[in-house]
Structure formats: structure tokens, C-alpha cells
Structure 1
Amino acid sequence: MARVTVEDCVDKMGSRFEIVLASARRARQLYSGAEPHLEWENDKPTVMALREISEGYIDASVLDEPEDLMAASLAEELEVETNVPLASPF
């Protein structure tokens, strides 16, 4: 497993603050079941998110996606797969 450094990610994004926000958002997506863009090497979602940023698969546009929309689409996906309606989180 290769070590990911902040410097690897700074080249792809403008600031360290954007890296923190984007990697946190992407880690939540991965934890919620999103497909990774790289081969999963027994990494935690936070490490995978940083790896995806350093490889150029994820950029600051991930911050434009509303989180509640991501949760709603995941809930719809689970309903389709299990054929069981889920309770609304709202």
C-alpha cells in the first residue's frame, strides 16, 4: 500500500482546505457504498479518498454535490435492490 501525502494532493487541488473538504466528502460517499475509482487495497475510506484525489479521479467538484441528494439516491438504490421501502430520513 503506497503512502499518500498532502503534497501528492496539493498538486491536484488548490489548497489544503479543499483537500480536507473533498476527501471527507468522498470518504463519506465510499463508506456509504459508492464505487471506488481505484482498486481497493484494504484501505480505509479516508485513505482511498486521498488516493483518488492524488491520482486525479476526484477534484473539488465533489463539493458541489448536495449530501442529502447523495443519501436520497443511495436510499432509492437500496429500495430497488431489496424491494423494501425505506423510511424517509426527513
Structure 2
Amino acid sequence: MQQDKQPEYGPVVFRDRTAGYAFLTRSTATSDRTIEWDDGNTYPVIDVEISSESHPFYTGKARTVDSEGRVARFERRYGEEG
């Protein structure tokens, strides 16, 4: 593996703008903006639109699809052909 072709892998803070939640992880993503973390160090920060804190699937606010109602509506509209 060629060392000069690999991106730098280091600590980065991802901040969810909608939930006001931030977490520190390691990534190859980079940013010019920085943030001071709880440990006193400064890390690059990347703002994201959605994370597990605000995604409907993880927060329990997901909309369920009534597939049985859709089938009944289809059969009512077009009738059962046999």
C-alpha cells in the first residue's frame, strides 16, 4: 500500500444542527472550522443535517405505512379480477 495516497485519519467532531448533538469520532473527513471539545483539545467540526439523534427511525417518530389499507383501497378501486 502506498503511504502517500492514503487520506489522513484522525479525530473529528460531527455536529447535528437540528438536534444540537455532537460526537467525537475518527474519520478521514476534514474541515477548516474547529471546535473546542470537553477534553480541552481543539478538533475539526463537520455540521451534518441528520444523525441518530434526529433521524425518525432512531427517535421512534417514524411514520408507518398502512400497507393493508392500500391493498383494500386498490381492490375497491379496481375490483378483484379472477
State whether TM-score is above 0.5.
Answer: no
TM-score interval w.r.t. the shorter chain? under 0.3
TM-score where L is the length of structure 2: 0.24
Which structure has the greater CA radius of gyration? Answer: 2
Name the structure with the higher helix share.
1
TM-score where L is the length of structure 1: 0.23
Q: Which has the higher contact order (CA 8 A, sep 6+)?
A: 1
Name the structure with the higher strand share.
2
